Structure 1
Amino acid sequence: MPLKVGYVREHFSTPLLQFQDVDQNQTFTLVECPSGTGQLISRLTKDEIDVAIALTDPLISGIANGSTAYKLCGSYVSTPLNWAVITGKDTKFKDISDLKDTTIGISRLGSGSQTMAYVMALQQGWPTENLKFQINNDIRGLLNSVNNGSTSAFMWEWFTTKPFVDAGEARFIGSVPTPWPSWLIAAHPSSTRAPPDALRSFLTSLSGYVRAFNSVASREGHNVEVIKAKFGYPEEDIKAWLKTVAYPEDCLVIPSDVITNTLSVLEKAGVVKAPEGGFDLAHFVDKDIVNLA
């Protein structure tokens, strides 16, 4: 059976889509999760997918808060994610500081949009326990909420939301880059759902496409045309994004400080609470698959 790989169809997924285009043996099938990491984690929990390429912070906080639905098995993007802070086209909000004590839109509980709201609050010095959220499922629901006044703002990746801002549907009022590398890979802990040999083979092959995409030569020409064809983004936006993003040399390696540093920030933000004696990194990863560097 091919692995069911959950993903978000964004420009970050381009190497994965290139891999799928030439996967003649159909070793995996892609399952699109447009609502983001919260939906990916939900589908892992419900046994609807075997592997998820998802945001670092919700994956780590999920395990820290007791989820046994998955383990970390690899790395995908090694640079931070730039989260835009977006409000409605006609709202009174001009700056992040204006959002204190308002209701923030999120896609789902446990999503990156919620985690980063806590990080934003931490940076602003707001009490994280006072944050109020409204669940709006996807980008269209989030845009509707800031324009109908039910929420003040929401957070989403900058270049994904820029077309909506360019079209006059919303406004940027700031951004909050993640204090950690942005994407990791997680897999179902059952060897029947994610067989180790199949998972290692998938991650080894994916590494090749990631390295090719990450190369200087690809960045200077080929990547621009591929992203333009797959996503329709303006060329200047694609080039600007390519200057900010980097991928790992080997998807089968996770630097241990990615986990420890992320947990440290999440604990300060009140998203996770360390157990007595601290967190055990071995609890977060599938030791049979990934190497902790």
Structure 2
Amino acid sequence: MKKINIGGVPEHFNLAWYLTLKNGEYKAEGINLRWHDYHGGTGQMCKGLREGDIDMAVILTEGIVKDIIAGNPSKIVQTYTQSPLIWGIHVAADSEFKNIDDIKGTRAAISRYGSGSHLMAYVNAKNNDWNLEKDLEFSVIKNLDGAIEGLTNGDADYFMWEKFTTKPLVDDGIFRRIGNCPSPWPCFVIAVRDEFLKHNEEDVRTILEIINNTTSEFKNIPSIDRTIANRYEQELEDVREWLSLTEWSQELIDKKTLNHVQDELLHLNIIPEKWDYKDLVYKL
């Protein structure tokens, strides 16, 4: 049985992977798929792909595009979540900051450079007409636990993370959300290391077929809202709102969308140049 390592964030978006693994669907096809939780998010997963710790990743679109252009030998093989990610903009509950204007020029907590929390801080700055050189400062906090500590201790001033994941922290009075910033593109894609893809294309295709069968019917799974609420310790009404906003994909990201992502990243000086579509994706 072939062992294949895949990484992703331990969040509700990836429950479909847990369900297919629990059902033994990959093993039935001779694949020992091992899931690895990456609490540090996209930047940590990019490192995992580069170093060969994982063969595949369910990863933020903007993060993997940036890292492929920066030398990560990987390709996007499919869009995973078609809808945008809604990033909540959070401050400590007792912070003096009341709105987005108040955090201009203050320190954004980011999991690491090149992560989604880093890149989306630029998108938020652009949306609010800030000076990208003068009005952005960063404090590296590694993960969500680090953000709780950093904002509470005053080591950082605000933190951007998926709003439903952080909603329990808002409900518990640890964070206060002062705004939202949706990503301007489909939020998650599936990326695979070039070296692995070259020798295991059929296995990758099989994995995608299995996960796509589940995501295409995900919202129709009986009591899926309650399963998510219990597993991820979220309020049922929040889960139902998230489900209503979220659409999965079973297709490769298209050229127009990938051009849009690159145009934005180039404008924000996050990438030095645009790449051809064929150099970023691999069509199975």
TM-score by length of 1: 0.91
Match of 1:201 among 201, 206, 219: 206
Specify the code of the residue in structure 1 equivalent to 2:173: G
Percent identity over paired residues: 29
Per-residue CA deviation, residues 52-105 of structure 1 (Å, 9 max, x unaligned), is 0011111111123x2233111111000000000000111111111111111111
Work out the CA distance in 1 between the residues paired with 2:199 and 2:140.
31
- Residue number in structure 1 paired with 2:279: 283
CA RMSD of aligned residues (A): 1.6
Contact between 2:197 and 2:204, CA under 8 Å: does it hold in 1? no
Work out the CA distance in 1 between the residues paired with 2:259 and 2:80.
17
Moved over 3 A (4+): 191-194
Match of 2:155 among 144, 150, 170: 150
CA drift of 1:192 comes to 7.0
Name the SS of the counterpart of 1:254 in structure 2.
coil
Gaps of 5+ in 2: none
Work out the CA distance in 1 between the residues paired with 2:216 and 2:16.
9
**Structure 2 matches for 1:149-168, cutoff 5 A?**
149-168=154-173
Per-residue CA deviation, residues 239-277 of structure 1 (Å, 9 max, x unaligned), is 1111110011x24x2222221111111122221232xxx
Name the SS of the counterpart of 2:72 in structure 1.
coil
TM-score by length of 2: 0.93
**Structure 2 matches for 1:20-59, cutoff 5 A?**
20-23=21-24, 25=27, 26-59=31-64
Work out the CA distance in 1 between the residues paired with 2:48 and 2:7.
8
- Residue number in structure 1 paired with 2:254: 255
Name the SS of the counterpart of 1:41 in structure 2.
helix
Match of 1:80 among 74, 84, 101: 84
Specify the code of the residue in structure 1 equivalent to 2:270: V
Specify the code of the residue in structure 2 equivalent to 1:226: T
CA drift of 1:279 comes to 2.7
Work out the CA distance in 2 between the residues paired with 1:123 and 1:153.
16
Per-residue CA deviation, residues 185-209 of structure 1 (Å, 9 max, x unaligned), is 1011103786111111101111101
Specify the code of the residue in structure 2 equivalent to 1:95: N
**Structure 2 matches for 1:1-293, cutoff 5 A?**
1-23=2-24, 25=27, 26-64=31-69, 66-130=70-134, 131-191=136-196, 195-214=200-219, 217-218=220-221, 221-248=222-249, 250-251=250-251, 253-274=252-273, 278-287=274-283, 289=284
Report how many aligned residue pairs link the two structures: 278
Work out the CA distance in 1 between the residues paired with 2:111 and 2:260.
25
CA drift of 1:17 comes to 1.2
CA drift of 1:229 comes to 3.5
Gaps of 5+ in 1: none
Are residues 149 and 4 of structure 1, via their aligned partners in 2, closer, same or farther at CA, if it must alter by over 3 Å? Answer: same
Specify the code of the residue in structure 1 equivalent to 2:256: D
